[in-house]
Amino acid sequence: MGAVRLPDDLTIYQVTEIKAILLKALREYERRNTAIELDFSNVKECDGAGVQLLLALSNSAAKAGATVALHSVPKPLAKLLDDLQLSSRFLVNS
């Protein structure tokens, strides 16, 4: 199973839908031990709510013993995670 592709916006307006996507990925991992891989190639925006959501995923995944890999992370988002010194919580591939 490939990476889960995220929609355009990781913002407060979409977080509820994205939470469902992420939760599904987490469940998928728990059931079949597949890696949690997220494809960010479509993501254009990410705000605090989006970051918080990723953080919650990372925490919950860590509890379950998984790491979260972020693929095709756009530059601005990678910089944001760096600025927040959060990059270490994920495997970030740009």
Q: Which residues bind other proteins (CB under 8 A)?
A: 12, 15-16, 18-19, 22-23, 26, 45, 47-49, 51-53, 55-57, 59-60, 63, 80, 83-86
CB 65 within 8 A of CB 30: no
| Cβ distance to other proteins smaller for residue 33 or 48 | 48
User: How far is residue 63's CA from residue 43's CA, in Å, rounded to a whole number?
Assistant: 26
Token pair belonging to 30: 């728990």
Token pair belonging to 70: 């972020």
How many Cβ atoms from other residues are within 10 Å of residue 73's Cβ?
Answer: 23
**Minimum distance from residue 11 beta carbon to other proteins (Å):** 9
**Minimum distance from residue 67 beta carbon to other proteins (Å):** 15
| Cβ distance to other proteins smaller for residue 30 or 39 | 30
Query: Beta partners for 46?
Result: 10
| Cβ distance to other proteins smaller for residue 16 or 34 | 16
